[in-house]
């Protein structure tokens, strides 16, 4: 958290009022998540051979050995994050009150939570439906999903690190997917690493759910896998070349990237993910989506 706090403060010093409010809220959330993550929990990571076999077969490591998320601890985390968000997220009064009063504990059972690691989106949707959340509130499906997602992250980051440490070095081409090799979630963003005199910058992807990072080809769409250079390009907001969005004309998908060579501070992925939310609007205004529309061809 020390590095996260330092980098966040660096961004806050030049942020507009709305961006500053959002970063301060997220900084408080990251502090809660960090405290939850700091509790030592057992995870039986698969052996290196089993993990590599899974990746070659196109299966993320958590499909081989999923971490157990303790029900009582998770429900407690959900309650704490929901209470914090109701007070600090700047929600409209009716939505803040609905989130404050929401009974998450009654909607989360052990069986549903056990499936959450392998199918988080289904878990979020089922729980929101059980709670009677609606797209337009006052208890919104988006808010419920945000709370459930935010509470799940600190239970997966430790096992994710353990899984990658056990796996050791592996050929990124053996996975070759824009989905996380550990938990299977879509990459939230990526990083173009520092360039050297001997080689070009390495491009990696980052998972917002378990915080794994993995190598990915420089000239390839993260969403559909195309390598046609004529349909791939980067764009960015004028004056900020460190933060770019990679656009694909084949699937109309996009992925945000931080270019380390152009960044005037250390890259901390969780902070960069928050800072680059403005690029979502840039991409969507041009007709691109975070997932792309090439569903059948997605890698």
Per-residue pLDDT reduced to its tens digit, 228-271: 999 999 999 999 999 999 999 999 999 999 999 999 999 999 99
Instruction: Categorise residue 168: left if φ over 0, alpha if ψ from -120 to 50, beta otherwise.
Output: left
Is 265 among the domain residues?
yes
Interaxial angle between packed helices 93-101 and 71-88, expressed in degrees from 0 to 180 and rounded to the nearest 10: 160
What is the domain extent for residue 68?
Answer: 39-155
193 confidence band (pLDDT: 50, 70, 90)? confident
126/208 same-domain check: no
Residue 200 has a pLDDT of 57
Q: Verify that 245 and 150 share a domain, yes or no.
A: no
Task: Report the run of H or E that residue 167 belongs to, with start and end.
Answer: helix 141-167
Same domain, 144 and 61: yes
151 CB-near residues (< 8 Å, 6+ apart): 36, 74, 77, 78, 81
Please tell me whether residues 151 and 176 are part of one structural domain. Answer: no
- Asked if the structure places residue 11 within a domain, the reply is no
**Could you read off the pLDDT of 153-186 as tens digits, one per residue?**
999 999 999 999 999 888 877 788 999 999 999 9
Based on the fold, state whether residues 116 and 185 are members of the same structural domain. Answer: no
Tell me, yes or no, whether 226 lies in a domain.
yes
Domain contains 8:
no
pTM for the full model? 0.93
pLDDT (tens digit, 9 = 90+) per residue, 277-295? 999 999 999 999 999 874 4
Tokens of 216: 């990915």
Strand order in the sheet with 213-215: 213-215, 203-206, 189-192, 254-259, 243-248, 232-236
pLDDT of residue 134: 96
Of 129, 155, 181, the residue that ends a domain is: 155
Q: What is the CATH number of the domain that holds 235?
A: 3.90.1670.10
**280 domain-assigned:** yes
pLDDT (0 to 100) of residue 195: 61
pLDDT of 201 > 70? The answer is: no
Same domain, 54 and 145: yes
Q: Tell me if 21 is assigned to some domain.
A: no
pLDDT > 70 in the chain, percent: 96
Average pLDDT over the chain, rounded to whole? Answer: 93
Is pLDDT at 222 greater than 70 in this prediction? yes
Picking from 155, 181, 200, the residue at the C-terminal end of a domain is 155
Does residue 202 belong to any structural domain of this protein? Answer: yes
Same domain, 47 and 139: yes
Per the structure, the count of domains in the chain is 2
Task: Answer yes or no: do 204 and 97 share one domain.
Answer: no
Q: According to the model, what pLDDT value does residue 102 have?
A: 98
pLDDT of residue 176: 86
Measure the CA–CA gap between 191 and 183, rounded to whole angstroms.
Answer: 19
Indicate whether 143 and 194 sit together in one domain: no
Same domain, yes or no: 63 and 99: yes
Tens digit of each residue's pLDDT (9 = 90 or more) over 3-27 = 999 999 999 999 999 999 999 999 9
The verdict on residue 111 lying in a domain is yes
Alpha-carbon distance values, 48 to 16, 160, 166, 170, 248 (Å): 46, 14, 6, 10, 34
Q: What pLDDT score does 297 carry?
A: 44
């Amino acid at each position: 958290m020390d590095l996260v706090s330092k980098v966040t403060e660096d961004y806050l010093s030049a942020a507009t009022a709305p961006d500053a409010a959002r970063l301060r809220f997220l900084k408080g959330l990251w502090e809660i998540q960090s405290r939850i993550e700091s509790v030592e929990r057992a995870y039986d990571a698969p052996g290196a051979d089993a993990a590599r076999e899974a990746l070659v077969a196109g299966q993320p490591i958590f499909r081989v050995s999923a971490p157990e998320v303790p029900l009582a601890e998770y429900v407690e985390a959900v309650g704490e994050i929901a209470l914090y968000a109701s007070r600090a997220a700047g929600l409209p009064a009716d939505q803040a009150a609905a989130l404050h009063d929401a009974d998450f504990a009654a909607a989360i059972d052990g069986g549903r939570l056990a499936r959450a690691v392998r199918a988080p989106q289904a878990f979020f949707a089922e729980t929101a439906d059980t709670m009677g959340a609606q797209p337009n509130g006052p208890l919104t499906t988006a808010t419920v999903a945000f709370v459930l997602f935010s509470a799940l992250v600190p239970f997966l980051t430790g096992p994710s690190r353990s899984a990658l440490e056990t796996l050791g070095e592996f050929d990124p081409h053996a996975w070759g997917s824009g989905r996380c090799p550990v938990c299977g979630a879509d990459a939230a963003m990526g990083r173009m690493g520092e360039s050297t005199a001997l080689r070009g910058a390495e491009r990696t992807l980052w998972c917002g759910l378990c915080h794994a990072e993995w190598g990915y080809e420089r000239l390839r769409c993260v969403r559909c896998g195309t390598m046609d250079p004529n349909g791939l390009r980067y764009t960015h907001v004028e004056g900020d070349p460190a933060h770019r969005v990679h656009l694909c004309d084949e699937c109309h998908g996009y992925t945000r990237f931080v270019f380390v060579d152009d960044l005037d501070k250390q890259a901390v992925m969780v902070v960069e993910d928050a800072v680059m939310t403005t690029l979502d609007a840039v991409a969507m205004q041009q007709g691109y989506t975070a997932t792309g529309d090439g569903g059948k061809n997605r890698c």
